[in-house]
Chain A
């Protein structure tokens, strides 16, 4: 079991009213799964991804990640956990504008204190694998959206995570680019990387092995 959410609640207080962002979420994800979270805007897809990615807190419930009780962990420990095992891919790519393609991919390794020679090798592998060696010295603005998202995925993969969390990864791309990216996810999944994506698109969801539906912060129906 990679992760297990039990009775997760998350809310914000607005005046005297309590608005639930997540309501009684129960979820198990095994290693090697490719899961899609679907639901309309505001249904809590991103929030759920952020909770799974440990970027966001929840108010109630238990969350075990690789048998570690995340809800009981200290901030620092939790950060170490997601740094080690989780990679993020965003709809808006979120590359750092001032860094080149090479440097963007390298950055997570810097924060993990990986040695220079090892870093070079890892980044070179990644550039090679995604066929972007020729673009390594370009800045994000000089790339197309699809290429930027490719760099975003390369960056997420560089630290060899067990889990990739992708929030609408193709939301800013045209259909051809989308398809390429989804194919890439599928390949990665075949190599053993667990993937959870949030998406609007049935088409994208179909690449996954399982889909859950959210509505107003609650599991709606399960396939």
Chain B
């Protein structure tokens, strides 16, 4: 009984608060709009960034056995160096399965590039060669076909929905034949399944799946058994309740048995990485799919929270700034019997209403801007209409309402009725400090973001403009799409054909072209038992000259000297330094290689600028080099490429020339080309993305802060109207009044700058550590950012102040 009465009374009170809150908000439309808009923008940032971050953190969690699936990685030690790899030997999986009973299942995944013949043309597609256990371990949806027996024969293929549509249109693909070349000859593959495209947050992505039984078509028996050649990823599923740490003690025995006389304690260690950690663990090298730097999630989350806080600060600043007009109401209510906690509820209620309105608007904004946001972050995020999203939004509302409503509620409910009803409300010192503190905080965040925008922009410009040590201008790279032996023949024919055209200034053949880092990694153990590794590329005679690479010592390859084809090697300076070579010209290469060093080139950035230039070896024919090497690592299949430098001219015409020449030499093959500058730019996609986001974020932050400042100045002016009137009567000029109002703010922004500088410097310094080649953070960037903030603030202040300063003082003085 008593409870129901109190409840009823509560609801009555709440209704009353709600009504008053709504009227109050409507009564002050301008401030309400600023508050709601600011918060809505903050909420929008928060929601969009939350979508991105949660997608980053949800990678691979959709597998029902995700907690039991691990990717195998290995740590090989040679003397002083460790070689960590997530790409493992072919033999790794079967060995684990045979020796460790706790391994319930194993699936190897190898990425291959079969040539698919389709409408009498050859296309290079991408396929995963997987064990038949693929559907036992993973939850990928097989739309048609048999999960238990996905590959009834060797020559069977499962197509993704998209791939099936590409090759067979809307007709059913199941049971149809597809002509593909994996190894040396073309074969018919029967389509035995259609699989749903891999979801976006998956570390396993495929166009088609081929049975692992085909591995023999690509790799010799020896390579399949070798522990020192790595080819694909290996996943294992452990039995329920088994942790990888429980298995680690068993691995040394297993490796001892497997490696025999090559075994050394600790020389080859095997570890398991939870599948759900693959995407954000950048301590391990990436496997088949790119991983994300978790730093970017943190940067984004920080930005989202900062913008939200800036918006909350807006709310508090305006609420307190506006307090003089609420003070009387508080006084009256207190005299009429309101208790302080009741007033606190009332003001919190108002904050809650504003936050709810902002949330609705913020959700609307994020819906509207999801598409552009997706294109910035290069994702396909969708709006999740699930319970956890609703909970997230509700929590966000509560948190924001609390952050932004609590202090103003405490502040406003504190007024002493005797004082405020006399109209003697002087703005209290304490509130002034807090408000100033918040303005400082807002501008510090904005200035820091502006600094970051500029520095990141400079770094990206640097990426674009740094002299890479070779000439990247006007180059189009054409891939032969064939293995290295067939490709080399075709490439040479194509080159000869190209040189007939006046539009082509240079053409050169190599196994890899630029922006395809890290080329090939070769390694060997020297006589001191130390492991040495370096990068390798096979190039034709005019590669060095055509690419404008500077020869420091000796000479480049020469077509006229036949011995160059097999016996000559050109290395870079880093290579000379690695092996401590003195007078390298004319000497034999270090290690097992027979070639003679004929030239040393200046270091050029064949890798991205994230890493320093690695030691590099170039020869004309790769075969003898490969034969002598213990360890060969390739990020993707080597296919001879022709890098063509065009004379300056029309882009479409250039492509047409190249394509027609291609049709002359390879009428049945797809013409695949890339622009070198675009490929180079693509290496810095993550940075470009961060740059765009920080740019937008700093814009929004300064926008919200400026809105808040606008509101605050309006309030201050309305309170100081009389003072300004009196000053004018006493002869003050407009400019002196602007100075009067803006000096305070300029000082606040200066303080904000002082706070922002070290923070921004620290952030950017940390970010720049990612790159081997980076810009210096210049002092003027800091000055520029804070001058920009001051100018924006002064414009805001002046616009408002001029209006008041120009008005007739009689009007403002008469109201008393």
Interface residues of A (CB under 8 A from B): 46, 50, 53, 55-56, 79, 83, 88, 90, 92, 94-99, 103, 107-108, 110-113, 115-116, 155, 159
Q: Across the interface, do A96 and B337 meet the contact criterion of CB distance under 8 Å?
A: no
With an 8 A cutoff between CB atoms, is B422 at the interface?
A: yes
Are the CB atoms of B332 and A96 closer together than 8 Å?
Answer: yes
User: What is the bound-complex CA distance between A124 and B662, given in angstroms?
Assistant: 95
* A108→B337 contact, CB < 8 A: yes
Does A96 lie within 8 Å of B418, measured CB to CB? no
Asked whether, in the complex, the Cβ of A111 is within 8 Å of the Cβ of B27, the reply is no
B1-28 Cβ-contact flags toward A at 8 Å (1 or 0): 0000100110011001001100110010
Shortest Cβ distance from residue B574 to the other chain A in the assembled complex, whole angstroms: 75
Residues of B within 8 A of A115 (CB): 5
Task: Provide a sorted-by-A list of 21 A–B residue pairs whose CB atoms are within 8 angstroms.
Answer: A46-B422, A50-B418, A55-B417, A88-B335, A88-B336, A90-B421, A94-B328, A95-B332, A96-B20, A96-B329, A96-B333, A98-B23, A98-B24, A98-B329, A99-B23, A108-B336, A110-B12, A110-B13, A111-B339, A111-B342, A155-B336
Smallest Cβ-Cβ distance to B332: which chain A residue: A94
B193, CB-defined interface residue at 8 Å: no
Is B93 part of the contact surface with A, judged by Cβ < 8 Å? Answer: no
B17 and chain A: residue at smallest CB distance: A110
Contact B335 A55 (CB under 8 A): yes
B331 within 8 A of A: yes
Partner of A98, one of B8, B9, B27, B338: B27
Bound-state CA distance A113–B8 (Å) is 10
Q: How far is the CA of A116 from the CA of B11 in the complex (A)?
A: 11
Shortest CB distance A27–B (Å): 19
Chain B residues near A79 (CB, 8 Å)? 337, 339
Given contacts A79-B339, A96-B333, contact A116 B418 (CB under 8 A): no
**Could you say which residues of chain A place their CB within 8 Å of the CB of B338?**
111
Which 3 A-B pairs give the minimum distances between C-beta atoms? A111-B337, A83-B337, A98-B23
Is there contact, CB below 8 Å, between B20 and A94? no
Chain A minimum-CB-distance residue to B334: A55
- Report the minimal beta-carbon distance from A190 to chain B, rounded to whole angstroms: 25
Q: For residue A112, which residues in chain B have a CB less than 8 angstroms away from its CB?
A: 337
| Contact call A110/B421, Cβ cutoff below 8 A | no
Q: How many residues on chain B are close to A (CB under 8 Å)? A: 27
Chain A residues with CB below 8 A from B332, complex form:
94-96
Q: Is the interface of B mostly helix, strand, loop or mixed?
A: helix
Tell me the complex Cα distance, A64–B417, Å: 22
CB pair B418–A56 under 8 Å, yes or no, is yes
Chain B residues, CB < 8 A from A50: 418
A139 (CB) vs chain B CBs: closest residue: B23
Chain B nearest Cβ from A156, distance in angstroms:
9
Give the distance in Å from the alpha carbon of A50 to the alpha carbon of B13 in the complex: 28
Select one of A55, A94, A99, A110 contacting B418, CB under 8 A.
A55
Name the residue of chain B whose CB is nearest to the CB of A106. Answer: B16
Interface residues of B in 330-355 (CB under 8 A from A): 331-333, 335-339, 342
Q: Is the CB of A94 within 8 A of B331?
A: yes
- CB-nearest residue of chain A relative to B335? A88
B414-429 interface code vs A (CB 8 A; 1 in, 0 out): 0001100111000000
Q: Is there contact, CB below 8 Å, between A99 and B20? A: yes
Give complex CA distance A96, B337 in Å.
14
**Which B residues from 439 to 489 make CB contacts under 8 A with A?**
none
Q: Which residue of chain B lies nearest to A96 when distances are taken between CB atoms in the complex? A: B329
A116 to B13, CA, bound (A): 11
- Residue on A nearest B417 in the bound complex, by CB: A55
B336 (CB) vs chain A CBs: closest residue? A108
Neighbouring B residues of A53 by C-beta, 8 Å: 335
- Within residues 12 to 60 of chain B, which ones have a CB less than 8 A from any CB in chain A? 12-13, 16, 19-20, 23-24, 27
Q: Is the CB of B16 within 8 A of A110?
A: yes
Q: Which residues of A contact B20 (CB under 8 A)?
A: 96, 98-99
Measured CB to CB, the nearest residue on chain B to A46 is B422
- Min C-beta distance of B15 to chain A, whole Å: 10
Q: How far is the CA of A108 from the CA of B337 in the complex (A)?
A: 6
Tell me the bound Cα distance from A168 to B23 in angstroms: 30
**Residues A116 and B12 in contact, CB atoms below 8 Å apart:** yes
**Chain A residues whose CB sits within 8 angstroms of the CB of B423 once the complex forms:** 92
- A107 near B336 with CB under 8 A, answer yes
A22→B193 CA distance, assembly (Å): 97
Distance A113 CA – B339 CA, assembled complex (angstroms): 12
CB-CB < 8 A to B12: which residues of A? 110, 116
Q: Which residues of A contact B418 (CB under 8 A)?
A: 50, 55-56
Residues of B close to A46: CB separation below 8 A = 422
